Amino acid sequence: MQPKDKTKNHQKCGVVYKISCSDCDETYIGETGRTLSYRMRQHASQREPTTAVGEHIGRENHKIKDEEVKVLARESNTWQRKIREAVEIRTHKPEMNKDNGYDLPAIYNNILQQHPQGVGGAHAEGLTSPPLKKASDGQKLRKSYNIQSQQR
């Protein structure tokens, strides 16, 4: 298996994925029981009903590049996939998502508070991107760190 082979990832059925807009900082997390490439065609389509991603790129005239799409997890079981999606949405709070996906049982709130970087990230076959990878996130982190050190 070659986990870094994007063509193969796009052909797998049942994925949780993260899309980063190529023209702004907004992101979207979703899941599909179809292949990622099929779902990406739906996102790219401007025909009704449009997806949240389709609305964003249509309204803002932005683009999504294939390399801006990351597979967070592969899961063929629908419920496990929906729970994983909901966990990722609560962890990353992507701007384009209109809801939190599957309504997680309350017990997950405690777990997610204890693991702010997400649950199960290390088990995603190395496909989950490390948190705070974006430069903008790093700057935010440094800013909050500066505030803390000034207070001391």
- Closer residue to Zn ion (CB): 21 or 69: 21
User: Min. distance of Cβ 94 from Zn ion in angstroms?
Assistant: 12
Q: Which residue among 5, 11, 24, 117 contacts Zn ion (CB under 5 A)?
A: 24
6 binds Zn ion (CB under 5 A): no
Strands 27-35 and 69-74: unpaired
The two tokens of residue 45 are 């389509």
- Give the residue nearest to Zn ion (CB): 21
Considering only 55, 62, 80, 131, the residue that binds Zn ion (CB under 5 A) is 62
DSSP code string of 82-110: HHHHHHHHHHH--TT-SS-SS---THHHH
Cβ nearer to Zn ion, comparing 33 with 55: 55
Q: Is 68 in the site for Zn ion (CB under 5 A)?
A: no
The three-state secondary structure class of 13 is strand
Fill in the amino acid letter for 33: G
CB 28 within 8 A of CB 83: no
Q: Does 55 bind Zn ion (CB under 5 A)?
A: no
DSSP state string for 121-145: GGGSTT-SPPTT-SHHHHHHHHHHH
Q: Residue 58 interacts with Zn ion (CB under 5 A)?
A: no
Least CB distance from residue 26 to Zn ion, whole Å?
5
Which distant-in-sequence residues (6+ apart) come within 8 Å of 99 by Cβ? none
Closest approach, Cβ 62 to Zn ion, in A, equals 3
Part in contact with Zn ion (CB under 5 A); list of ranges 5-13, 22-30, 95-103, 133-141: 22-30
Residues that bind Zn ion in the complex, under the rule CB under 5 A: 21, 23-24, 26, 60, 62
